[in-house]
Amino acid sequence: MKIAVLAGDGIGPEIVAQALRVLEVLKKEGMAMEFVEAPLGGQAYDAYGHPYPEFTQQVCRAADAVLLGAVGGPQYDTLDRPLRPERGLLAIRKDLGLFANLRPAVLYPELANASTLKPEVVAGLDIMIVRELTGDVYFGQPRGIRVNPETGQREGFNTMIYSESEVRRIAHVAFQIAMKRRKKLCSVDKANVLETTEFWREIVTDVAKEYPEVELTHMYVDNAAMQLIRNPKQFDVIVTGNIFGDILSDEASMLTGSIGMLASASLNESKKGLYEPSHGSAPDIAGKNLANPIATILSAAMMLRYSFDQEAAATRIENAVKKVLAAGYRTADIYEPGMKKVSCSEMGELIVAAM
């Protein structure tokens, strides 16, 4: 298993270090893993003048999977747009063809009080958001900021576009995931206004014929945003486009109380994947050993499951996390009075011990 390790910016290096400790346990026991480090985002701009430099491209293309911390920081916000850390993230997604972004929102029973919603609304919550990641208004051309030749006014513009093959392949991924879960799929669109998503709905409905066991529903994105807060447990798997998925996955993450707990996987056609926490680089707490490494550790578990078919090892890591939470250990972001507050590295150490 050749794993590219991109620590990135902000808290990235701290949280990735803890995930590597966890993977080292498996390596020492004989799992054949090889780690190759490379920079991405601001870190890469500092070293190579580009957020996704040639060196990193080569390392990632040669790897079977990529483990990523986070990118971005205020010191990079004034760079030219193509050089900003976020562009590095978009570039690696596109370069590796990572079109399927899986973002689970799972509530650990121990953290039911950490949610801003009533415990009975979120208890037992287990949603999987499947977000299309390489199309839509994120990549559609033309795009830009220009002076309109007719009006003389400046304007910003982007293009929302999905091809049939792009919709089909993400729909298949979502149906296949639903088949392994509670067999309910909700496709989220804005078909009442946007042709792109009217088309999305038509194609998803067609793909559904191949999965007669899955109950498919459709929901407008504004309603979905509301239903996620009103009654989130009505959802099993949600499939949606890039921009709606970006927004709804942040919303869903907070149902669970802390974005510091949520892992993600971004997969291509051949199961190569990039695994990263759903949260950002948290520059305000970077370097202070305060960050919650659990999302990154759970991302490493997803990597074992989805890219390497190591289900037992993935479950073992997830169980170790549950055990440590059940024993009352909390990083600052999920701390409640009466619990034992620990640092980022202590949390990593506890999870390694629990394994």
Asked if residue 216 lies in contact with residue 208, where contact means CB atoms within 8 angstroms, the answer is: yes
Angle formed by the axes of helices 195-207 and 164-179, nearest 10°: 50
Question: 18 vs 242, which CB is nearer to ligand IPM?
Answer: 242
Residue of 46, 77, 222, 309 with catalytic role: 222
Given candidates 37, 64, 86, 346, which one binds ligand IPM under the rule CB under 6 A? Answer: 86
What is the three-class DSSP state of 334?
Answer: helix
End-to-end CA, the chain: 20
Question: 243 vs 350, which CB is nearer to ligand IPM?
Answer: 243
Q: Which does 89 bind (CB under 5 to 8 A by kind): ligand IPM, Mg ion, none?
A: ligand IPM
Which residues between 292 and 331 bind ligand IPM (CB under 6 A)?
none
246 noted as active-site residue = yes
Residue of 250, 322, 323, 341 with catalytic role: 250
What's phi and psi for 353, nearest 5 deg?
-60, -40
Give the contacts of 334 (CB within 8 A, at least 6 positions apart): 111, 114, 257, 258, 260, 261, 292
Residue of 45, 108, 138, 275 with catalytic role: 138
Question: 84 vs 305, which CB is nearer to ligand IPM?
Answer: 84
Q: Which stretch binds ligand IPM (CB under 6 A): 83-91, 205-213, 218-226, 318-326?
A: 83-91
**Going residue by residue from 205 to 224, which x/- string records binding to Mg ion, judged by CB under 5 A?**
--------------------
Q: How far is the CB of 129 from ligand IPM (least distance, A)?
A: 11
Given candidates 24, 64, 95, 246, which one binds ligand IPM under the rule CB under 6 A? Answer: 246
Element at 277 (helix H, strand E): strand 273-277
What is the three-class DSSP state of 259?
Answer: helix
Residue of 108, 190, 272, 333 with catalytic role: 190
Question: 246 vs 318, which CB is nearer to Mg ion?
Answer: 246
Asked if residue 39 lies in contact with residue 56, where contact means CB atoms within 8 angstroms, the answer is: yes
Following DSSP, what letter does each residue of 103-127 receive, concatenated? EEEE--GGGGGGSSS-HHHHTT-EE
The answer to whether 346 contacts Mg ion (rule: CB under 5 A) is: no
**Going residue by residue from 236 to 255, which x/- string records binding to Mg ion, judged by CB under 5 A?**
----------x---------
Which is it for the CA torsion 227, 229, 230, 231, positive or negative? Answer: positive
Residue nearest ligand IPM, Cβ-based: 86
Tell me which amino acid residue 83 is: L
What is the three-class DSSP state of 99?
Answer: coil
Q: Binders of ligand IPM: how many residues, by CB under 6 A?
A: 4
The answer to whether 251 contacts ligand IPM (rule: CB under 6 A) is: no
Question: 8 vs 53, which CB is nearer to ligand IPM?
Answer: 8
What is the three-class DSSP state of 135?
Answer: coil
Give the contacts of 150 (CB within 8 A, at least 6 positions apart): none
- How many Å apart are CA 26 and CA 20, to the nearest integer? 10
Cα R_g (the chain), whole angstroms:
20
Q: How far is the CB of 281 from Mg ion (least distance, A)?
A: 12
Q: Which does 160 bind (CB under 5 to 8 A by kind): ligand IPM, Mg ion, none?
A: none
- How many Å apart are CA 88 and CA 234, to the nearest integer? 36
- How many Å apart are CA 179 and CA 166, to the nearest integer? 20
190 noted as active-site residue = yes
Q: How far is the CB of 320 from ligand IPM (least distance, A)?
A: 26
The answer to whether 89 contacts ligand IPM (rule: CB under 6 A) is: yes
- How many Å apart are CA 204 and CA 91, to the nearest integer? 27
Residue of 246, 271, 335, 341 with catalytic role: 246
Q: Which stretch binds ligand IPM (CB under 6 A): 28-36, 44-52, 85-93, 340-348?
A: 85-93
Q: Which residues are catalytic?
A: 138, 190, 222, 246, 250
Binding site for Mg ion (CB under 5 A): 246
Binding site for ligand IPM (CB under 6 A): 86, 89-90, 246
